[in-house]
Amino acid sequence: MTHFHRFALVGNPNCGKTSLFNRLTGARAKVANYPGVTVEKRSGIITGLASPIEILDLPGTYSLFVTSPDEQVARDIILGKLEGEQLPDLLIAVVDACNLRLGMRLVMELKSLNRPMVLALNQMDEAKRRGIVIDTQSLSTAIGIPIIETIAVNSHGVDQLRKHLDNYAQNTSILEGEQILTLSDRQESIEALYAEIESLMSRFVVQPVQYPVWQDRIDSVVMHPWLGILFLFSVLLVIFQAVFAWATPVVDLIDAGFSQTGSWISTYLPDGILKDFLIDGLIAGVGGVLVFLPQIIILFFFILVLEDSGYLTRAAFLLDRPMRGLGLSGRSFIPLLSSFACAVPGIMATRTISDPRERFITIMVAPLMTCSARLPVYALIIAAFIPQQTVWGIFNLQGLTLFALYFAGIVSAALIAWILRRQAAREEFPLLLELPSYRWPMAYHLLTGLRERAWIFIRRVGTIILALSIVLWFLATFPGAPEGATAPAIEYSYAGQLGTWMQPLFAPLGFNWQMCIALIPAMGAREVAVSALATVYAVGEDSIDVALGTTLAASWSLPVAFSYLAWFVYAPQCISTIAVVKRETNSVKSTVFFTLYLFALAYFAAWVTYQIASSIVS
């Protein structure tokens, strides 16, 4: 068994720690959970060295005296107190050179542990651009810690850091057995700690008196109580417009590829079960979902850009006051925004919320933020029923419809949060967040993030969605129609029988039995609803999204389509989300409440939508 040195990256949030991790490991990261907790564990191997090194990217923390679950895990790893996790051989403290005073508190606390460590002074290029001068060598001598200047965006200094780690690993034995450090609240008083930090800053750091004017000017707009809200909604509207407008050429290209494959199979394979399986099972199932990959990548691209630019934290501050009127705070903004990509990491991100009641409420409403898995369903139905036309000469009507669906989820989450908060005593936790500097998003970070998310989606298509598509194809194919049957063969299949049994329950919503069938595999992954509809409507040989959209437009009325959209806005159509709610709350009662209230809300919303739309159309 190979033994690795284990080093840990420690630092404040937004200090560039994860970017440095990606540079050191080449983004070859393994993601899991730490033993006994649900906090994400991100680790990787630094290759090409004389001694292999495993490096951990610990959750961000400002201090070793912590309250949130994420910070507690970081502290317990550093102290060797987390069961099943070895004490790191070396601590790599990452500090943003532009916010050295803030980062030095954690550095000095780590220093008091008398553990081997090195300080990576990151974002030195931005510090120099602002006129910040740091006497790195003298500061290193004063605190007794090696300091290496790094710029994670372009690998500057990363090779030097890698060489330092390699030298340390070659000259130091691997820690054996369990070692636990103690952290006393009296190790050093806060007053003495800050006095020492101020002394270091005055001796070794020269900072310009004035903050960059251009950043202040941007903040005067994006953090204005009214202009800032308008700007935020404008950004969201642009994102939803881009999801349709930018993705169309690539979607058409992918769709044409699957269509050509289906035509080739149809031409060269004889009729039979194999041909039916390949066209109606594999191509309809996998292709029907994979064509929406460009739209999902565009959505993630914008989220990563907003995060890297420093805007997300400002949006959290901006929304703190209106969110407090709902019983939440700006802390909930980032977990809720993350839920637009996927509710699972969004719910896990609530661990940064100190207030237990606010964390519970955020978990309960996070799935109402429209996740990317809903996007294929929305895109299919919107394209089939909403005309491709421009409104007021600017906006795409399909993009506006998508915006309305996202907005419905946001408004509903706000209302439910307000109701839940009224059931509990109010306790105020002031919002304390560091405003990161504005910066251009890092191309390397963007590409790495998009690659990871694209691979996660493709892996789901190749595993969960493929498996569910095959199962659904089997249910829709067997048993075959009996002799003399007059109805379509699928009505005699297992899927047809199941859909017929479910249909009376969903009849008030306008759902037919084919729509009912699609709800079942969608519990494994929402986007499977698209491939399920393609299977039950036997769409697979022609252009998948166009043919399926045409089929739905001919089979469903407009009220039915709107009702189906309303169902997917609210329904907890995701077993993974339900599972992570159980893990994060550690409560069966809370999980049952979560599941039942969302299904009830979905049924009610779909019923109301169907009734109102039917009355308007008629």
**For the segment 245-266, what is each residue's pLDDT rounded down to a tens digit?**
787 788 778 878 887 888 888 8
Q: What is the pLDDT of residue 235?
A: 85
Asked whether the beta carbons of 355 and 365 are under 8 A apart, the reply is: no
The pLDDT of 318-337, averaged and rounded, is: 79
Say which residue, 53 or 208, is predicted with more confidence. 53
The pLDDT of 312-320, averaged and rounded, is: 79
* CATH superfamily, domain at 5-206: P-loop containing nucleotide triphosphate hydrolases (3.40.50.300)
Q: What is the pLDDT of residue 569?
A: 94
Q: What is the pLDDT of residue 288?
A: 66
Say which residue, 158 or 27, is predicted with more confidence. 158
- Least confident window among 52-61, 216-225, 497-506, 536-545: 536-545
Tell me the average pLDDT of the chain.
81
**For the segment 108-140, what is each residue's pLDDT rounded down to a tens digit?**
999 988 889 999 998 888 888 888 899 999 999
Query: What length does the chain have?
Result: 618
**For the segment 214-238, what is each residue's pLDDT rounded down to a tens digit?**
778 888 888 888 898 888 888 877 8
The pLDDT of 162-187, averaged and rounded, is: 70
CA–CA separation, 385 vs 353, rounded Å? 41
pLDDT at 521 over 90: no
SS3 44: strand
Q: What is the pLDDT of residue 136?
A: 93
**For the segment 548-577, what is each residue's pLDDT rounded down to a tens digit?**
888 899 899 999 999 999 999 999 877 778
> Which residue(s) pair with 11 in the sheet?
94
| Percent of the residues in the chain that have a pLDDT greater than 90, as a whole number | 19
The pLDDT of 353-381, averaged and rounded, is: 86
Q: DSSP of 108-137, one letter per residue?
A: HHHHTTT--EEEEEE-HHHHHHTT-EE-HH
Say which residue, 582 or 142, is predicted with more confidence. 142
Calculate the alpha carbon distances from 79 to 109, 324, 484, 539 in Å: 12, 36, 75, 58
pLDDT tier, 186 (very low <50, low <70, confident <90, very high otherwise): very low
Say which residue, 461 or 426, is predicted with more confidence. 461
Reading the block at residue 314, the tokens are 């400002």
Q: What is the pLDDT of residue 544?
A: 59
Q: What is the pLDDT of residue 600?
A: 95
The pLDDT of 329-342, averaged and rounded, is: 78
Q: Which amino acid is at 410?
A: I
pLDDT tier, 1 (very low <50, low <70, confident <90, very high otherwise): very low
CA–CA separation, 545 vs 553, rounded Å? 12
CA–CA separation, 66 vs 81, rounded Å? 14
pLDDT tier, 387 (very low <50, low <70, confident <90, very high otherwise): confident
The pLDDT of 274-288, averaged and rounded, is: 76
> Which residue(s) pair with 8 in the sheet?
56, 91
Q: What is the DSSP letter of 151?
A: B
Q: What is the pLDDT of residue 70?
A: 75
Q: Which amino acid is at 460?
A: R
Question: Closest by alpha carbon to 340, among 314, 372, 316, 313?
Answer: 372
SS3 576: helix
Q: What is the pLDDT of residue 37?
A: 46
Q: What is the pLDDT of residue 606?
A: 96
Strands 395-396 and 390-391 turn out to be: antiparallel
pLDDT at 349 over 90: no
CA–CA separation, 610 vs 590, rounded Å? 30
Asked whether the beta carbons of 283 and 540 are under 8 A apart, the reply is: yes
Q: pTM for the complete prediction?
A: 0.64
Q: Hey, which of 235-239, 327-331, 381-385 has the most confident mean pLDDT?
A: 381-385
**For the segment 26-38, what is each residue's pLDDT rounded down to a tens digit?**
755 554 444 444 4
pLDDT at 461 over 90: no
Asked whether the beta carbons of 560 and 614 are under 8 A apart, the reply is: no
Reading the block at residue 569, the tokens are 């806005």
pLDDT at 212 over 70: no
Q: Hey, which of 32-36, 274-278, 408-412, 601-605 has the most confident mean pLDDT?
A: 601-605
Q: What is the pLDDT of residue 107?
A: 93
Q: What is the pLDDT of residue 610?
A: 95
Q: What is the pLDDT of residue 607?
A: 96
The pLDDT of 150-160, averaged and rounded, is: 77
Angle at CA of residue 577, ends 574 and 581, nearest 5°: 145
- Residue 56 φ then ψ, to 5°: -105, 135
Q: What is the DSSP letter of 40?
A: E
Q: What is the pLDDT of residue 244?
A: 64
Calculate the alpha carbon distances from 248 to 128, 259, 295, 390, 552 in Å: 43, 16, 8, 16, 20
Q: DSSP of 338-395, one letter per residue?
A: HHHH-HHHHHHGGGG---HHHHHHHHHHGGGS--GGGHHHHHHHHHHHS---EETTTE
pLDDT at 478 over 70: yes
Contact residues for 294 (Cβ-Cβ < 8 A; gap 6+): 246, 247, 250, 251, 254
| Percent of the residues in the chain that have a pLDDT greater than 70, as a whole number | 86
Asked whether the beta carbons of 92 and 74 are under 8 A apart, the reply is: no
H or E element: which one contains 169? Answer: helix 158-170
Q: What is the pLDDT of residue 40?
A: 62
**For the segment 187-211, what is each residue's pLDDT rounded down to a tens digit?**
467 788 889 999 999 999 988 766 6
Number of H-type helices and E-type strands within the chain: 28, 11
* Domain chopping of the chain, boundaries: 5-206, 452-617
